[in-house]
Amino acid sequence: MTILSGWSSILTAVCLTTLVTLLLQASRRKVPKCASFPPGPTRLPLLGSVHLLPQQFQERTLAEWGTKYGGIVYAKLFRTPAIVINSYKIAHDLMEKRSGNYSDRPRFILIPELLGWKNSIVHLRYGEQFRMHRKWMQDAFRSKEALDSYRSIQRREVSVFLANLLSTPEAFMTHFTQFSASIIMEIVYGHRVLNDKDKFIGIAERAGESTVTAGSPATMLVDFFPIMKLIPEWCPGGGFKTKAAVAHKYVSELYEVPYRMVREKMKSGTARPSFTSNLLERRDRVGKLTLEDEENIKAAAATVYSAGTETTATAMMTFILAMVRHPSIYSKLQDEVDRVVGLERLPDFEDRAALPYTECVIKELYRWHVPVPLGIPHNTLKSDIYGGYHIPENAMVIANIWAMSQDEDIYPNPTDFNPERYMDNAEEDPKNIVFGFGRRQCPGNELADRSIFILVTSIAATMNITKVKDTSRAEITPSLDFTSGFVSRPEAFSCEITARSDKAVRLIRQMKVATE
Residue 146's domain comprises 7-515
Distances, alpha carbon 268 to alpha carbons 172, 259, 265, 272, in Å: 38, 15, 5, 11
Q: Which helix (DSSP H) or strand (DSSP E) does residue 397 occupy? A: strand 396-399
> Can you tell me the distance from the alpha carbon of 399 to that of 11, in angstroms, rounded to the nearest whole number?
29
CATH of the domain at 449: 1.10.630.10
Q: Give pLDDT, residue 22.
A: 42
- Predicted local confidence at residue 428, as pLDDT: 83
Is position 2 within any domain?
no
DSSP structural state of residue 83: E
Within a domain: residue 467?
yes
Nearest in space to 392 (alpha carbons), one of 87, 97, 100, 76: 76
pTM, to two decimals: 0.90
Determine the residue type at 125: R
In a domain, 209, yes or no: yes
Task: Kindly state whether residue 434 falls inside one of the protein's structural domains.
Answer: yes
Which residues in 311-345 are b (16+ Cβ under 10 Å) and which e? bbbbbbbbbbbbbbbbeebbebbbebbeebbeeee
pLDDT at 217: 66
The DSSP string of 452-465 is HHHHHHHHHHHEEE
CA–CA distance, 48 with 18 (Å, rounded to integer): 18
Residue 360 annotated in ligand binding: no
Confirm whether 401 is domain-assigned: yes
Is position 119 within any domain?
A: yes
> Which residue in 357, 312, 376, 281 sits closest to 176, CA to CA?
312
> What is the count of structural domains for the chain?
1
The rounded distance, in Å, linking the Cα atoms of 4 and 221 is 8
Q: Is residue 244 part of a domain?
A: yes
Ramachandran angles phi, psi of 326, nearest 5°: -130, 70
Strands 378-379, 80-85: pairing is: unpaired
pLDDT in tens, the chain (516 residues): 555 554 444 434 434 433 444 444 444 444 445 579 999 999 999 889 988 988 889 999 999 999 999 999 999 999 899 999 999 999 999 999 999 999 999 988 888 888 888 999 999 999 999 999 999 999 999 999 999 999 999 999 999 999 999 999 999 999 999 999 999 999 999 999 888 788 888 888 888 888 877 766 666 677 787 777 777 777 777 778 888 888 899 999 999 999 999 999 999 999 999 999 999 999 888 888 899 999 999 999 999 988 877 788 999 999 999 999 999 999 999 999 999 999 899 999 999 999 999 999 999 999 999 999 999 999 999 999 999 999 999 999 999 999 999 999 999 999 999 999 998 876 789 999 999 999 999 999 999 999 999 999 999 999 999 999 988 899 999 999 999 888 899 999 999 999 999 999 999 998 877 676
Residue 1 lies in a domain: no
What is the C-alpha to C-alpha distance for residues 230 and 15, in angstroms, rounded to an integer?
Answer: 10
d(CA 22, CA 26): 6
